[in-house]
Amino acid sequence: MGKVINIHTGRERTIQTFDCSICDSKFSENETGLQRGIIGSTIVSLCPICLSGIFNLTDYLKQHMSIEE
Protein backbone atom coordinates (compact mmCIF):
# COMPACT_ATOMS: atom_id res chain seq x y z
CA MET A 1 0.00 0.00 0.00
CA GLY A 2 1.13 3.54 -0.66
CA LYS A 3 0.31 6.73 1.15
CA VAL A 4 -0.58 10.10 -0.31
CA ILE A 5 -0.35 13.20 1.87
CA ASN A 6 -2.24 16.34 0.90
CA ILE A 7 0.33 19.13 1.47
CA HIS A 8 -2.43 21.70 2.06
CA THR A 9 -4.42 19.80 4.68
CA GLY A 10 -1.81 17.33 5.96
CA ARG A 11 -4.35 14.54 5.61
CA GLU A 12 -3.05 11.11 4.70
CA ARG A 13 -4.79 8.80 2.32
CA THR A 14 -3.82 5.19 1.74
CA ILE A 15 -3.81 3.92 -1.82
CA GLN A 16 -4.45 0.21 -2.06
CA THR A 17 -2.18 -1.77 -4.34
CA PHE A 18 -2.65 -5.19 -5.88
CA ASP A 19 -0.16 -7.86 -6.99
CA CYS A 20 -0.62 -9.00 -10.58
CA SER A 21 -1.39 -12.72 -10.73
CA ILE A 22 0.68 -13.15 -13.91
CA CYS A 23 3.80 -10.96 -13.62
CA ASP A 24 3.66 -10.19 -9.87
CA SER A 25 4.08 -6.43 -10.36
CA LYS A 26 2.22 -4.06 -8.06
CA PHE A 27 -0.43 -1.70 -9.39
CA SER A 28 -2.71 0.74 -7.64
CA GLU A 29 -6.45 1.18 -7.52
CA ASN A 30 -5.99 4.25 -9.76
CA GLU A 31 -4.69 2.17 -12.67
CA THR A 32 -6.85 0.37 -15.22
CA GLY A 33 -5.98 -3.21 -14.30
CA LEU A 34 -8.38 -5.83 -13.01
CA GLN A 35 -8.27 -5.43 -9.24
CA ARG A 36 -10.12 -8.54 -8.08
CA GLY A 37 -11.70 -10.77 -10.65
CA ILE A 38 -12.51 -14.45 -10.82
CA ILE A 39 -11.41 -16.90 -13.51
CA GLY A 40 -13.11 -20.21 -12.82
CA SER A 41 -12.81 -20.47 -9.05
CA THR A 42 -9.54 -18.53 -8.77
CA ILE A 43 -9.39 -14.90 -7.63
CA VAL A 44 -7.04 -12.96 -9.90
CA SER A 45 -5.65 -9.45 -10.15
CA LEU A 46 -4.21 -8.29 -13.46
CA CYS A 47 -1.96 -5.26 -13.96
CA PRO A 48 -2.80 -2.95 -16.91
CA ILE A 49 -0.18 -4.58 -19.17
CA CYS A 50 -1.28 -8.16 -18.49
CA LEU A 51 -4.98 -7.23 -18.77
CA SER A 52 -4.26 -5.64 -22.14
CA GLY A 53 -2.36 -8.79 -23.14
CA ILE A 54 -5.35 -10.97 -22.22
CA PHE A 55 -7.60 -8.80 -24.43
CA ASN A 56 -5.10 -9.06 -27.32
CA LEU A 57 -4.91 -12.83 -26.88
CA THR A 58 -8.68 -13.26 -26.93
CA ASP A 59 -8.99 -11.00 -29.99
CA TYR A 60 -6.33 -13.07 -31.76
CA LEU A 61 -7.94 -16.37 -30.83
CA LYS A 62 -11.38 -15.16 -31.95
CA GLN A 63 -9.98 -14.29 -35.37
CA HIS A 64 -7.86 -17.40 -35.87
CA MET A 65 -9.89 -20.20 -34.36
CA SER A 66 -12.53 -21.70 -36.57
CA ILE A 67 -15.68 -22.73 -34.84
CA GLU A 68 -16.78 -26.15 -36.07
CA GLU A 69 -20.29 -27.21 -35.40
Nearer to Zn ion, 26 or 60 (CB): 26
d(CA 52, CA 69): 30
Cβ neighbour number for residue 48 with a 10 Å cutoff: 14
Nearer to Zn ion, 17 or 22 (CB): 22
- Site stretch for Zn ion (CB under 5 A), options 2-10, 16-24, 34-42, 56-64: 16-24
Q: Does 51 bind Zn ion (CB under 5 A)?
A: no
Interface residue list for Zn ion (CB under 5 A): 20, 22-23, 47, 50
